[in-house]
Every structure is written in structure tokens, then in C-alpha cells.
Chains A and B, each alone.
Chain A
Amino acid sequence: MERRQWPLWEVFIRSRNGLDHKHCGSVHAPDAKLALQMARDVYTRRQEGVSLWVVRSDQIVASDPQAKPELFDPAADKIYRHPTFYQLPDAVDHM
């Protein structure tokens, strides 16, 4: 009989209220409840967080790294989207 492995889950931690959840690693677990428990044991032994998210790794849809140029390069020449593009007189430059 082929041995089934526990599925992989990605772990996200909110380090304190007011901050986003941030990816910190992954764990293997048979279900969501145990995934949370294991994420707590593996990633928050030193008060690293106040909230945890776990999500099945196979549920994450990722962009293709080879598509990086067409996805992200178009933003490179649109510097007018940044406030620093605009030179204003000193008197009002704090705007």
C-alpha cells in the first residue's frame, strides 16, 4: 500500500495587532486543526505572534517567475505614479 503523506500547509503569523499576517514557513498536518496546533508549536515558541493563519499549500495560486518581466516591468517607467515625480515650489513642497 502506498503511504500517504500529511499535506503541506503554509503558515502566516500576525506578530502583533496592527500588523499584517506575514508568511513564516510551512508544516505538514493531516487537517486544519492540527495544522494550527503544529504551526503554533513550530513557529511561536518565543511569542512571535498573536494570530495564526494556515492554508493548504496546494490552494495557493502563484504567478510564474518566468512571467516576471511582462507582469512587473510595465510599472518601471511610470514614475509619475510616485509623489516624488512632481517638483513643487519649496513653499508648498511638504504637500
Chain B
Amino acid sequence: MYTQAMDIAAAKGEKPGKPTRLENPEYQAQFDDKVDRGDFIEAKDWMPEAYRRTLVRQISQHAHSEIVGMLPEGNWITRAPSLKRKSILLAKVQDEGGHGLYLYAAAETLGVSRDELVEALHSGKAKYSSIFNYPTLTWADIGVIGWLVDGAAIMNQIPLCRCSYGPYARAMLRICKEESFHQRQGYDLLLTMMQGTPAQRDMVQDAVNRWWWPSLMMFGPHDAQSQNSADSMRWGIKRISNDELRQKFVDATVPQAQVLGVGLPDPHLKWNEQRGHWDFGAIDWDEFWNVVAGHGPCNRERLQARVSAWEEGAWVREAALAHADKRAARARAA
């Protein structure tokens, strides 16, 4: 999802984050040396401005994705089919909120405020993963999101645990530990449905058909079209290319679909003995860019939900501050 976010900026004509000049050649050399050695960069260390900007963009968009990602699943909390499934879904959505908060905190170490980050999301300036602009039409969607969407996210996120920026890497470690639960509960949900009625099995197949391609798009454009990747690779922010991660995801997922007993909606999906990988069909990039540009099925609804949650919560934030001020004043007077 973050890889996608980085590519979006380039495609919209924003200048890719290349340093135009060395702000301080001596510091730059030390920085390059640290990154090359695989050392971590910490919050107060000197870093090139372009590195800082790229990280702010990537980490904050990753955070926004977690927060907006709560919405499609939150849609089903009240309609979960059992108390057990409701508890699991609540825990998962709570995790997404937590992940968003870890990541906002990591982004803030780079000198941006939480309010600036939230503002950028609400004004549409910052993006979030396009996957969350698709609707969750049936209960099977909840399972498929866990299995495919979180599965793709994990594939993307594991290399980030080794990213060169310490606060981001530590947040990712924590997130990856929790994310595995998300994928497994989704698969477990689908296994249960597949043992149900033909209508339930059809529901799973329908959800897989709708989510398969958007899940593959989560890895971002092909490497050749991914302009920001080179800088991010050099800086140790990105470790594995979009296409390589996508292939890993397909290779891991096909056998899981077989165990589940569902088909994947791609007539070109075929084991390639020579490559030792699954071949798959062409991705509809027009659909991807269309959703990124704001024309997906749920873009307006998602953003609207975030903006109203923020605005309607404003009085609570203010009241809490007023209360804290009053208590502090009393403590001083006493």
C-alpha cells in the first residue's frame, strides 16, 4: 500500500524526491555510509531533506491506509454472524486503529504534526491505499479482506521491518506481529463458509472474484513505471521491488486458494515450470489509476466518513484540553 502511495506522487507530476543539492557534503557522506552499512537512521540524526520528505509521505500514507481501512470492515461489526466472529472483527478493526497510531507517531518523529497529517488526508492531498475504495458487499468480503488484502499487506510490510529509518522499522515490527492474526482469521472465516451451503460457497467465490485484482494492484505499478523506487531502494526504505513482491504474493496465494476450493478469476494463471513461478494475466491499470484519482466506488464515502468523525469529535478534544487546563490550574493554586 505504501509502495503504491509513493508511485502515485510521481504519476501526478510531483517531482520525485531527488536531492537537488547536497545540503552538507560531510553529513551526506556519513549518512550514505550508514545506510550502506545497513545501520539505522534515528529521528534526530541528520538526513537529506528528500529522504525525510519521502518518509513522511510514505509513513503517513501508510497510517492513513490503516485508519481508512477500518471503515470497510467496521461496516460489518454489527452484522457479524456470531459473537465469536464479532469479537474477532472488533479486535481486528481495533488493531488497524492501533497500527495507524504507531505509524502517525513514527511520522511525527520527522517533524510533522499529527494535525498536519490528518489535514492532508482530509483535504485529499495525501492518499491512502486504493483497495479501501471498494465496498464490502457480503460477509465473505470480511474473510477475503483478511486473506488477500492483509496477505498482500504482509508481503509488502515484512521487508519494511528492515527499513533504514529506525522509528518506522520498529513500528513495522510491531504491526507485522499483529497482522498475521488478521490474515489467519480471514482464511479461517472462509474455510468455515466453504463448509456451508452452496449459497455460502458462491458468496466466497464472488468475493474472491471482486477482490483478487485490486489485491494485486496493492503492490503498485510495474517496476519500469515506478519512478520513486530507485531512490527508496538506495536509501534502504524499500528492499524488494513491486513486481517481485507481487509474484511472491501470487505464488503464495494460489495453493491457499486450492486448499480453500475457490478459483482465482484469471484465465492466464498457469504454473511456469521454467520460471518456477505462477504466470498471471495483465492487470487493468486504467482501473487502478481511476480509483487513485478518486473515482472508485467508495472514495467519496470513505473520505466523508473520516472528515465527519474528525469534525464531530472536535468538541471532545477541546473539552479534554479544557479539563486538563482546569486541573492543572487547581493543582497550582493548591
Known contacts A5-B113, A6-B317, A65-B44: does B105 contact A45 (CB below 8 Å)? no
Q: Which residues 145-181 in B have Cβ within 8 Å of A in the complex? A: 170-171, 174, 178
Q: Which residues 77-124 in B have Cβ within 8 Å of A in the complex? A: 91, 94-95, 98, 101-102, 105, 108, 113-115
- B320 CB–A CB distance under 8 Å: yes
C-alpha gap A27/B102 in the complex (Å): 8
B46–A66 CB distance below 8 A: yes
- A78 CB–B CB distance under 8 Å: no
C-alpha gap A41/B100 in the complex (Å): 13
By a CB distance below 8 angstroms, the chain A residues around B178 are: 45-46
A5–B114 CB distance below 8 A: yes
Known contacts A65-B42, A65-B46: does B321 contact A6 (CB below 8 Å)? yes
Most buried by B among A30, A41, A46, A64: A30
B324–A45 CB distance below 8 A: no
B98–A62 CB distance below 8 A: no
By a CB distance below 8 angstroms, the chain B residues around A41 are: 98
A25–B323 CB distance below 8 A: no
C-alpha gap A26/B327 in the complex (Å): 23
Contact of B101 among A3, A31, A42, A65 (CB under 8 A): A42
Contact of A45 among B95, B323, B328 (CB under 8 A): B95
Besides A5-B114, A65-B45, 16 new A-B residue pairs in contact (Cβ under 8 A), listed by A number: A5-B113, A5-B115, A6-B317, A25-B102, A25-B105, A27-B105, A30-B320, A30-B323, A31-B323, A31-B324, A41-B98, A42-B98, A43-B98, A64-B44, A65-B42, A65-B44
Chain A residues proximal to chain B, CB less than 8 Å: 3-6, 8, 25-28, 30-31, 34, 41-43, 45-46, 62, 64-66
Task: List the 5 closest pairs (A to B, CB-CB), nearest first.
Answer: A31-B324, A30-B320, A30-B324, A26-B105, A65-B44
